[in-house]
Amino acid sequence: MSFFRTDRRRFMTALGLGAGSLLLPSRFGAGPQRTKAQDPVAPKRILFFITPHGMVPPTWHMRDDGMLGADHELDLTSMSEADFSETFQPLHRHREKLLLLDNLTMATSIAETARVVDGVGHDANEHHLCQAHLMTGTWAVQREGSTAIGGGRSLDMVIGDAVGQPGRFANRIYGFRHQHPYSFLAANEPAPREANPANAFADMMGYLPAEPTETGPTRDDLLRSGRASALDFAAAEFDHVLPRLGAEDADKLRRHQELVRALELSFSGGGVSGVSCDPAVSLEGGEMHQFMQLAALAFSCDITRVITLTAAGLTNAQFGAPDTLNMHQDIAHNSVEGAAGYDPAMAQHMTNYNRTYAEQFSELLDVLDSVPEVGGGTLLDNTTVVWLTELSTGTHWRDQMPRIIAGGGGGYFRTGRYVYYAPTNPTPFSWGAVRDVGPADSHLRVSLMHAMGMTDQDSFGLDEVTIRSTGSALSLRGPLPRLT
């Protein structure tokens, strides 16, 4: 009996291909004799979507400008697309599954600037510090003769430690490098990151047994010979299960089948039917879209429950800026009022830049929302998708941060809202006049751990930082309020 005749169901489950890899309520019956404890429960997952630079405050804000001194929130579900800010309009179709957070502060990164001023380390570059702190929330490693880099195990690694099990990857890091890594195994030890969707796809096949003998077929040979028959078997299983489903679940199964087929076509190589072991990645859809599809399949078949996707840098053509402009020096640094070289044209380019990322984020949500799950929901409903920007603005602000949560995390978050946090504490450090800022983003990290079941954790990274102007401690413990 061939290898793939004995293991093709496991092969399909590892790919999320088989109909059995989906949790469809009508497959299990819906009679009153079933108890809640018997029903399948979709797992919770988390995906971090990280983009470089920052935004333009007036073109992403949706706050009530008459209430900036008080906490308040807005109902996104009742808003028209025109009511959404220019930057976030592409997210409008997902408004019922969104939490837009306004006015958070990267307190640990700001506090590290004060340490450098006091002689602890030498690198106070805001890009470097934010890249080091974004996912770690702790002091960076100030490398002698080099730049600062992450100083602790990152949030995606820690959550992966908690939810990983044998037979499942604890986490996966996909995408592109901005300057420095965001994900770390330990201080000064970046986590492995895969920038090639084809290699990421091959990585998913790692659960298949190793080649049987040194002289026998290699793992690549087995994969190459088995994929076509496995895909054919998956198609037959779809056809077998489909008549047993209710109309709603049948439609969801068809959409999942379309997702599987789209991924197969994206990775088809050289005229060979099905997917080759060393696929030549199709340019159709682009690498970011391929990573989105891979994330959906990895989540849907429980290969991992934690993914970090670092977005590719944009070319000027992608957001309509002239090629003669430098994204960093010409556009980002001159995009916010108050900057020495502020130019409204650069602000518009920066707005278009982030709107393009909003379109990518919305596309990611589309992909996740197309995969059906238990109880009539979708993969998006049981996933917490977090959009993190490296900085608050292109001019290196680290307060007034935007943070976007989508999906709800299996009902953990109350979505459909724009939540504004009033400034209540002095900034940990300022080069000029001291002003009050919103809550530290460290509290959001705690909330994300709680959403993934780690409710015994009350801090991540640093427990507190010192407010330089007062000498008092700013506690970083506890979850961010008003999310659940």
* Domain co-membership, 87 together with 135: yes
- pLDDT category of residue 295 using cuts at 50, 70 and 90: very high
Instruction: Establish if 301 belongs to a structural domain.
Output: no
Q: Is residue 440 part of a domain?
A: yes
Specify whether the CB–CB gap between 46 and 382 falls below 8 A: no
The structural domain count of the chain equals 2
pLDDT for res 303: 85
How far is residue 200's CA from residue 172's CA, in Å, rounded to a whole number? Answer: 9
Q: What pLDDT, on the 0 to 100 scale, is given for residue 174?
A: 97
Q: Rounded distance, CA 104 to CA 389, Å?
A: 12
pLDDT of residue 70: 97
Q: What are the φ/ψ torsions at residue 340 (nearest 5 degrees)?
A: -55, -35
| Pair 187, 210 in one domain | no
Tokens of 244: 């047993």
pTM as predicted = 0.81
Residues 388, 245 share a domain: no
Q: Tell whether 166 and 89 lie within a shared domain.
A: yes
Tokens 């001023």 appear where? 117
What is the distance of C-alpha 478 from the center of its chain? 22
Q: Is the pLDDT of residue 262 over 60?
A: no
- Residue 227: pLDDT band with limits 50, 70, 90: very low
Q: pLDDT value at position 207?
A: 40
Let me know if residue 76 belongs to a domain.
yes
Is 18 inside any structural domain? yes
Residues 93 and 222 occupy one common structural domain: no
**Contact between 278 and 184 (Cβ < 8 Å):** no
| Domain C-terminal end among 260, 280, 300 | 280
Q: Is residue 297 part of a domain?
A: no
> Are 5 and 94 members of one domain?
no
Q: Are residues 1 and 102 in the same domain?
A: no
Final residue of a structural domain among 280, 296, 320: 280
Same domain, yes or no: 71 and 153: yes
Residues 89-135: pLDDT tens digits?
999 999 999 999 999 999 999 999 999 999 999 999 999 999 999 99
**Is there a domain that residue 146 lies in?**
yes
Q: Are residues 334 and 471 in the same domain?
A: yes
Residue 234 has a pLDDT of 53
- Same domain? 320 vs 466: yes
Print burial letters for 368-393: b (CB count within 10 Å at least 16), e (below 16).
bbbbbbbeebbbbbbbbbbbbbbbbb
What residues make up the domain containing 236? Answer: 1-33+199-280
Same domain assignment for residues 268 and 317: no
Give the pairing of strands 464-466 and 172-175: unpaired
Rounded to the nearest 5 degrees, what angle is found at the Cα of 267, between the Cα atoms of 265 and 268? 65
Residue 217, domain member (yes or no): yes
Q: Are 25 and 249 in contact (CB under 8 A)?
A: yes
Residues 464 and 335 in one domain: yes
Assess whether pLDDT exceeds 60 at residue 240.
yes
> Which amino acid is it at 483?
L
Long-range contacts of 427-435 (CB under 8 A, 24+ apart): 427/105, 427/110, 427/399, 427/467, 427/469, 428/107, 428/110, 428/111, 428/114, 428/465, 428/466, 428/467, 428/468, 428/474, 429/110, 429/111, 429/113, 429/114, 429/117, 429/468, 430/468, 430/469, 434/469
Tell me: pLDDT of 38 over 80.
no
pLDDT band at 204 (very low <50, low <70, confident <90, very high): confident
The predicted model gives 83-88 an average pLDDT of 98
Average pLDDT over the chain reads 84
**Within a domain: residue 42?**
no
Which of 241, 263, 280 marks a domain boundary?
280
